[in-house]
Structure 1
Amino acid sequence: MLIKTKAIVFSALKYGDADLIVKCFTEQSGLKTYLLRGVLKSKKGKIKASLFQPLTQVELEANHKDKGTLEYMREAKLLVPYQSLHTDVLKSTVVMFLAEVLRNSVKEEEANKQLFKFLENSLRWFDTHEKAANFHLLFLVELTRFLGFYPDEPQGDESVFNLIDGTFQDRKTNADCISDENVALLKLFLGTNFEGLSAIKLTQTYRSGFLQMMLNYYEIHLQGFHKPKSLSVLNELYS
């Protein structure tokens, strides 16, 4: 089926001397993987290798067989020219980290337009705001809405968060309950949006601790999820 759709690049892997295997989350068809033959050597083709940096937003025309195999991409063009995501060192590291998280967590080969809208809007916001040191933390919290394990809203002054049930509690009921500063931070992030991030001031220790807690939460709820290899680079830059 020939289709034209918006897409967000999750990864691009060199294959052989001149080919790329590109994984994209498309608005119309969910997660798709494409084999782009000769794209690394072609200078006159309709598809440029430079389009496939992590989390780039593109518009593509492709022939989808929908059989779980590599798909064929006919054309691709840049949809959103980022101002800073691939040039600012800190932002590009966050982008690399989030792209890895998305590759590990988004598996559906069907349209999820709400998830797609969240991704395109949040990335545009990140690209145009300078004071966004906690962007990746709120992004991870909000992404759980679309993955099926968004935390239940706190009802009062509960001091414990159950990582298995995704609920706030008054006491620990299993080994995967936390009762440290991350409980208060999670409540704080649940009560804000990207525009409100500038009001949240965190030390590197708190930021790193909350990130580790969220990744543990993902590991519990997503089979096969593993901590991104880029996590160490991200922590180093924020230190």
Structure 2
Amino acid sequence: MIINSPAIVIHSLRYSEADLIVLLFTKTSGLRSYLLRGVLKSKRGKIRASLFQPLTLLEIEAFHKDKGSLEKIKEAKIQTIYKTLHTDFVKSSLVFFISEVLKNAIKEEEPNTELFEYLETALVWLDEHETIGNFHIVFLTKLTQYLGFYPDVSVDQAIYFNMLDGVFQNKSSNAYCINGQHVVEFKSFLGTTFEASMEIKLSKAMRGKILAMLLVYFELHLHGFKKPKSLSVLNEIFN
């Protein structure tokens, strides 16, 4: 089956001397892996290795067998040309962190249009803005909404955050109920926009605590999720 779809590059892996295996999150078919033969040596082909940098927004034409094997890309081109995402050091660090999170978090080979459009909007926003200190916090918080475990805010005045059940409550009921100033600050990110979240003032230590809490929250709700290896670099930059 031939498909034409927008796609987001999640990961790429060198395979043999000249081939690449790339993992794309497509708008029409969900998460798919593609084998690109000879792309690392080809300089004149329609498909170039440079197209598959992490989180690049593409338009692809591909052949899908839908048998769980590696698919084939017939054509690929840039959908949105980033101005800063792959050249600014801080943003590049965010790109590697986000791509690792998405590689661990998205598993379905089925379309999720709302998730795709959220990621597309978030990446373009990051590319176009300079004040981005809280971006990773609000990005992960909003991402939980599309993955199915956004915190229940109906009792948001409660002091404990029960990470196991994703609710706020007044008493601790299990080992994953936490409280403290980082829980209070985390509530500020619930229901806010990217623009408004950049106005939230956090100390370096507080930002680190909220991020650590969010990653534990992801681990609890996503089978096989692991903390990104790029986390240490991100903490050095933002903390």
- In the superposition, the TM-score normalised over structure 1's length comes to 0.98
**Deviation string for 1:33-63 (max 9, x for gaps)?**
0000000100111101101111000000000
Does the aligned pair in 2 maintain the 1:28–1:113 contact within 8 Å?
yes
**Deviation string for 1:118-143 (max 9, x for gaps)?**
00001000100000111111110111
Letter in 1 for 2:2: L
Q: In structure 2, what is the equivalent of residue 187 of structure 1?
A: 187
Following superposition of structure 1 onto structure 2, how do residues 110-129 of structure 1 map, counting pairs within 5 Å? Answer: 110-129=110-129
Indicate the SS of the match to 1:199. coil
How far is 1:180 from its partner? 1.3
Q: In structure 2, what is the equivalent of residue 56 of structure 1?
A: 56
Q: In structure 1, what is the equivalent of residue 82 of structure 2?
A: 82
User: More deviation in 84-93 or 177-186?
Assistant: 177-186
Whole-angstrom CA distance in 1 between matches of 2:115 and 2:53: 20
Q: In structure 1, what is the equivalent of residue 196 of structure 2?
A: 196
Whole-angstrom CA distance in 2 between matches of 1:230 and 1:156: 31
How far is 1:154 from its partner? 4.1
Whole-angstrom CA distance in 1 between matches of 2:17 and 2:85: 28
How far is 1:156 from its partner? 4.9
Whole-angstrom CA distance in 1 between matches of 2:62 and 2:101: 25
Residue 166, structure 1, aligned to residue 197, structure 2: no
How far is 1:157 from its partner? 2.1
Identical residues among aligned pairs (%): 55
Does the aligned pair in 2 maintain the 1:23–1:32 contact within 8 Å?
yes
Letter in 1 for 2:202: L
Whole-angstrom CA distance in 2 between matches of 1:119 and 1:156: 26
Does the aligned pair in 2 maintain the 1:13–1:20 contact within 8 Å?
yes
Letter in 1 for 2:47: I
Letter in 1 for 2:42: S
Whole-angstrom CA distance in 1 between matches of 2:236 and 2:157: 34
Q: In structure 2, what is the equivalent of residue 211 of structure 1?
A: 211
User: More deviation in 178-187 or 60-69?
Assistant: 178-187
**Deviation string for 1:205-229 (max 9, x for gaps)?**
1111100000000001111001000
In structure 2, stretches of 5+ residues that fail to align are: none
Q: In structure 1, what is the equivalent of residue 237 of structure 2?
A: 237
Does the aligned pair in 2 maintain the 1:132–1:197 contact within 8 Å?
no
RMSD: 0.9
Whole-angstrom CA distance in 2 between matches of 1:52 and 1:196: 32
Letter in 1 for 2:99: A
Whole-angstrom CA distance in 2 between matches of 1:107 and 1:8: 14
Letter in 2 for 1:111: P
Whole-angstrom CA distance in 2 between matches of 1:56 and 1:184: 35
- In the superposition, the TM-score normalised over structure 2's length comes to 0.98
How far is 1:146 from its partner? 1.2
Matched residue count = 239
Does the aligned pair in 2 maintain the 1:23–1:33 contact within 8 Å?
yes
Whole-angstrom CA distance in 2 between matches of 1:107 and 1:191: 26
How far is 1:198 from its partner? 2.3
Whole-angstrom CA distance in 2 between matches of 1:161 and 1:197: 20
In structure 1, stretches of 5+ residues that fail to align are: none
Whole-angstrom CA distance in 1 between matches of 2:183 and 2:169: 10
